[in-house]
């Protein structure tokens, strides 16, 4: 069995979500094959997967759904006012 470079824990093959920053935006690429350390959680990608991740990043091709940062005041429903339509 392969061992983790950092902690020497056992690596298992899993599919993971990869979070990256691109032009000040956070992107998440799901279902990426990786070797994951059972002990510390470190992810290792093979050469082919690494190249694919870089191509996706450079091409700027991302899934339709994107994460949007929402300020805490909005997220917590504070300082929101509603205007009623005049009848």
- Residue with the bigger pLDDT between 46 and 76: it is 46
Residue 74 phi/psi, 5-degree rounding, is -80, -45
pLDDT tens for each residue of 15-64:
998 887 777 777 788 889 999 999 999 999 999 999 888 887 777 665 55
| pTM for this model (two decimals) | 0.62
Per-residue confidence (pLDDT) for residue 45, from 0 to 100 = 95
CATH class for domain 1-86? alpha beta
**Mean pLDDT in residue range 71-79:** 48
Distance CA 9, CA 48 (A): 23
């Amino acid at each position: 069995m392969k061992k983790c470079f950092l902690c020497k824990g056992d690596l298992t093959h899993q599919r993971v979500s990869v979070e990256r920053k691109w032009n000040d935006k956070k992107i998440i690429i799901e279902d990426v094959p990786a070797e994951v350390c059972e002990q510390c959680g470190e992810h290792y990608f093979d050469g082919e997967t690494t190249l694919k991740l870089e191509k996706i990043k450079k091409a700027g091709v991302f899934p339709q759904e994107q994460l949007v940062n929402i300020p805490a005041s909005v997220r917590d429903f504070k300082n929101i006012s509603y205007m009623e339509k005049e009848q």
